[in-house]
Copies of this chain bind each other. A is one copy, B any other.
Amino acid sequence: MFANFLPKEFRFFDMFDKQAAYAVEAAVYFKELTSKGTIDEEALKKIRNIEHEADEVTHTIIEQLNKTFITPFDREDIHVLAKELDDVVDMVYTIINRLTIYRLTAVNKELAEFASVIEESVLGVECAVKGLRNMKNSKSIMEYCVEVNRLENVGDVMRDKALAKLFDTEKDPIFIIKWKEIYQDAETILDICEDLANTIESILVKQA
C-alpha cells in the first residue's frame, strides 16, 4: 500500500499500538484486582493514571488526524479506531471507580470470571491492532477479530447468568442496584472490543 512508504503515516500505527498497550495494561490490572479480590483507593489511583496517559495518546491521534492530509486508511476509520481503543481504558476505569463509590471492596466470583474474558478479549484486540501496519497479516488479524466476537458472546451469556443469579438469590434491592450496574459495565467492555473487531475488519476489507 502506497501510504506505507510515507514515514508520517507510521506514527498512526505507533500510536494505535500505544493505545492498545494501555488497554491491555488496564485489563491485566483489572484481572489482577479481581483475582486478589479487593479494590482500594490505591487501585483507583493507579487506573486513573493509566486512563490519563491513554487519553493523551488519543488526543494526539485526533490532533494529528485533523492536520494530516494523507492517512494510512480512511480518516473516519482512524477516528473510530482511536475513540474505541480509548473507550476500553475509560470503561475499565469506570468499573473500578464504581466499585469504589459503591463500597464493593470485595469482588465476587462472577466479576473475576468477567475480568478473565475481558483480558483475553483486549489481548486479541491488541494483536489485531499490531497487525494493521502490514496487510500481509490480514488472515491472522481476521482470526483475532473472530475470537473477539466470540468472547463478546461468551460475555453476554455470563452477564445473563450473573443477573439471573443476582435476582434469584439476592433480597437486598440496593445490593441488586449496585451489582446489576457492575455486570453491565463488564459486558460493555466486551461490547467495545467487539466494536473494535468490526472496525478493524472493515478496514481490512476496504484495503483488500
A178 CA to B180 CA, complexed, in Å: 11
Knowing A101-B160, A176-B174, A176-B177 touch, does A62 contact B167 (C-beta < 8 A)? no
Number of copies: 3
- Whether a CB of chain B sits under 8 angstroms from the CB of A70 is no
A163 CA to B176 CA, complexed, in Å: 16
Within 8 A of B (CB), among A68-86: none
Within 8 A of B (CB), among A194-208: 198, 202, 205-206, 208
Size bin of chain A's contact surface: 20 to 34
Q: B-contacting residues of A (Cβ < 8 Å)?
A: 62-63, 66-67, 97, 101-103, 160, 163-164, 167-168, 173-174, 176-178, 180, 198, 202, 205-206, 208
A116 CA to B102 CA, complexed, in Å: 26
A48 CA to B31 CA, complexed, in Å: 31
Q: List 22 A-B contacts (CB under 8 A).
A: A62-B202, A63-B205, A66-B202, A66-B205, A66-B206, A67-B205, A67-B208, A97-B160, A101-B160, A101-B163, A101-B164, A101-B167, A102-B167, A103-B167, A103-B168, A167-B174, A173-B173, A173-B177, A174-B176, A176-B177, A177-B177, A177-B180
